[in-house]
């Protein structure tokens, strides 16, 4: 079995909790061959933990992608840099796995897609919810429904740190450049203004940031299951909570999302048919092996039946990276492509265009 040599760009929270441990676990398929981060102390820490030699540690991703023998890179750094990293890697003939959001603007997405075609390499976007075994079972159940009457999508969750601080040991460097935060905010604002228009309000830019950071998981899974909606009927925001109503022609899909300081993760997609309801219940991805469950309610004759299916303890991230291996080594088509992500950017814009903010 071929071991893919992987370069990791960005060694922060998601890399430490998710990607690096899984790549190590799948050691027959993957080798962590190079790492990159702007923090020298983080490079040293991860390099020692995963036995990456000093010659394969980089402070600049443009140097990492030139390392001989690499097969692919994982782009796991800040969202506003994803396009530059992906395009540079593709130009060096490397496959690219990029965490969501792939990028923040349509122009950047088009650049990634052009380079993908020019290089003949693959790009896959990290939407692990679409790889959860329970989600895949739900797709089959939804197809069998007589019709869809209504859909409810919900993501009311506590902030990530509430789960991470009780379950993971994350190395947080203290040697990051002092100017980094301000430069990051400036770059993100510029990309949001490019995506939405130069006169877009701060509230609409904030909404766009929430959609691209948190909401994209829900919207991507919704599209996979139901397709693209015809339009957005309404979008209302109040602080960190918002509600969106989608038009699917013969039915509506209601999407409610928000963050607070409770240690719970309440996220699901629920599809209501005439006699059957199909619900995919997610849990926090930051605690590995918490299973996604499929809930089915069905009326048959005089009885109303309820069942819960937990297909496996293998988490969605493992399924996702096993699929990525097949994409690179066997030429399989990615489930979550760069072209597919373009529809999420379209949805973000549709939602923000309809946004009404509730004033305190």
Distance CA 162, CA 157 (A): 10
- Residues 206, 301, single domain; the answer is yes
- Residues 191, 309, single domain; the answer is yes
Render 274-315 in DSSP notation, one character per residue. Answer: SSEEEEEEE--TTSTTPPPEEEEEEEETTEEEEEEE---SS-
CATH number at residue 169: 3.30.360.10
- Residues 206, 236, single domain; the answer is yes
- Residues 189, 276, single domain; the answer is yes
* Strand, helix or coil for residue 322: helix
Whole-structure pTM value:
0.96
pLDDT attached to residue 360: 62
pLDDT attached to residue 359: 67
Contact present, 286 and 167 (Cβ < 8 Å): yes
- Residues 284, 323, single domain; the answer is no
Residue partners of 300: CB distance under 8 A and separation at least 6: 275
Q: Angle at which helices 338-353 and 202-210 pack, to 10 degrees?
A: 140
Tokens read off for 255:
């999407």
Distance CA 86, CA 88 (A): 6
Domain range enclosing 83: 4-127+319-337
- Residues 81, 187, single domain; the answer is no
As beta bridge partners, residue 308 has 295
Per-residue pLDDT tens, the chain, 360 aa: give them: 899 999 999 999 999 999 999 999 999 999 999 999 999 999 999 999 999 999 999 999 999 999 999 999 999 999 999 999 999 999 999 999 999 999 999 999 999 999 999 999 999 999 999 999 999 999 999 999 999 999 999 999 999 999 999 999 999 999 988 888 899 999 999 999 999 998 899 999 999 999 999 999 999 999 999 999 999 999 999 988 999 999 999 999 999 999 999 999 999 999 999 999 999 999 999 998 888 999 999 999 999 999 999 999 899 999 999 999 999 999 999 999 999 999 999 999 999 999 998 766
pLDDT attached to residue 178: 84
- Residues 224, 103, single domain; the answer is no
pLDDT attached to residue 48: 98
Residue 317: burial class (beta carbons within 10 Å; 0-12, 13-18, 19+): buried
- Residues 235, 194, single domain; the answer is yes
CATH number at residue 332: 3.40.50.720
As beta bridge partners, residue 272 has 150, 277
Residue partners of 140: CB distance under 8 A and separation at least 6: none
Distance CA 10, CA 50 (A): 15
Q: Number of folded domains in the chain?
A: 2
pLDDT attached to residue 177: 84
Contact present, 309 and 293 (Cβ < 8 Å): yes
Q: In what order do the strands lie in the sheet with 4-9?
A: 57-58, 30-36, 4-9, 72-75, 95-99, 123-126
- Residues 147, 110, single domain; the answer is no
Q: Minimal CA–CA distance to 285: which of 265, 307, 305?
A: 265
- Residues 118, 240, single domain; the answer is no
- Residues 150, 82, single domain; the answer is no
Tokens read off for 271:
């599809």
- Residues 218, 349, single domain; the answer is yes
CA distances from 297 to 125, 134, 277, 288, 292 (A): 32, 15, 5, 27, 17
Distance CA 344, CA 286 (A): 23
Render 86-118 in DSSP notation, one character per residue. Answer: HHHHHHTT-EEEEESSS-SSHHHHHHHHHHHHH
């Amino acid at each position: 079995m071929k071991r893919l040599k992987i370069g990791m760009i960005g060694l922060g929270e998601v890399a430490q909790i998710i990607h690096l441990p899984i790549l190590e676990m799948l050691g027959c398929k993957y080798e962590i061959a190079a790492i990159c981060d702007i923090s020298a102390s983080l490079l040293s820490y991860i390099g020692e933990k995963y036995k990456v030699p000093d010659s394969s540690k980089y402070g600049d991703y443009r140097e990492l992608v030139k390392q001989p023998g690499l097969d692919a890179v994982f782009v796991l750094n800040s969202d506003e840099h994803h396009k530059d990293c992906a395009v540079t890697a593709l130009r060096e003939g490397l496959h690219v796995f990029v965490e969501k959001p792939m990028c923040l603007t349509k122009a950047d997405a088009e650049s990634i897609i052009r380079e993908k075609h020019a290089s003949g390499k693959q790009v896959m976007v990290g939407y692990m919810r679409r790889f959860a075994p329970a989600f895949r079972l739900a797709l089959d159940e939804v197809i069998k429904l007589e019709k869809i009457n209504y859909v409810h999508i919900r993501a009311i969750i506590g902030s990530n740190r509430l789960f991470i601080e009780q379950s993971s040991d994350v190395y947080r460097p203290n040697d990051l450049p002092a100017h980094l935060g301000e430069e990051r905010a400036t770059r993100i604002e510029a990309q949001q203004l490019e995506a939405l228009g130069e006169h877009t309000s701060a509230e609409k830019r904030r909404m766009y940031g929430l959609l691209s950071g948190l909401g994209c998981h829900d919207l991507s899974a919704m599209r996979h299951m139901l397709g693209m909606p015809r339009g957005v009927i309404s979008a209302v925001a109040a602080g960190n909570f918002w509600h969106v109503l989608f038009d699917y022609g013969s039915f509506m899909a209601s999407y409610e999302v928000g963050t607070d300081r409770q240690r719970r993760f309440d996220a699901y997609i629920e599809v209501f048919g005439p006699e059957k309801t199909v619900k995919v219940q997610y849990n926090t991805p930051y605690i590995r092996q918490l299973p996604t469950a499929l809930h089915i309610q069905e009326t048959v004759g005089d009885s109303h039946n309820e069942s819960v299916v937990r297909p496996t303890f293998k988490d969605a991230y493992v399924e996702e990276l096993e699929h990525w291996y097949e994409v690179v080594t066997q030429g399989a088509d990615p489930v979550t492509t760069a072209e597919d992500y373009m529809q999420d950017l379209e949805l973000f814009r549709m939602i923000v265009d309809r946004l009404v903010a509730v004033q305190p």
